């Protein structure tokens, strides 16, 4: 009979990072040496989403932000949360 986590065990043996959790209410955690307990859930660690960079023009004449060809502001948003990570004034 095939082990319930057989595919993940093979992936782990090939060097893939594995995460585990006890239940749906638990947080996924990295594990270097999984126990492969049938009571735990396991998965391949998802690749992080890349940050999103947007360019804007701040124009006092129009009183706000717009995405136009003459950018003077670079905003970087976290790829996972969508939260603003940084803003840079371009000259």
Q: Do 86 and 76 meet the contact criterion of CB atoms below 8 Å apart? A: yes
Q: For the chain, which residues make up each domain, given as ranges?
A: 6-44, 52-89
Q: Residue 40's pLDDT is what?
A: 92
If one counts every other C-beta atom within 10 angstroms of the C-beta of residue 90, the result is 11
Q: Residue 24's pLDDT is what?
A: 87
Query: Which of 4, 54, 48, 55 lies closest to 28 in space, CA to CA?
Result: 48
Q: Residue 62's pLDDT is what?
A: 59
Q: Residue 47's pLDDT is what?
A: 92
What residues form DSSP beta bridges with 24?
Answer: none
Give Dmax (Cα) for the chain: 72
Instruction: Collect the ranges in the chain with pLDDT lower than 70.
Output: 60-69
Q: Residue 17's pLDDT is what?
A: 96
Q: Residue 70's pLDDT is what?
A: 76
- DSSP H stretches of helix in 14-60: none
Q: Residue 57's pLDDT is what?
A: 82
């Amino acid at each position: 009979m095939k082990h319930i986590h057989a595919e993940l065990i093979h992936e782990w043996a090939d060097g893939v990072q594995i995460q585990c959790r006890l239940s749906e209410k638990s947080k996924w955690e990295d594990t270097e040496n999984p126990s492969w307990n049938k009571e735990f859930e396991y998965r391949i660690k998802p690749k992080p989403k890349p940050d999103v960079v947007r360019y804007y023009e701040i124009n006092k004449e129009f009183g706000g932000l717009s995405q136009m060809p003459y950018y003077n502001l670079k905003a970087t948003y976290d790829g996972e949360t969508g939260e603003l990570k940084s803003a840079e004034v371009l000259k």
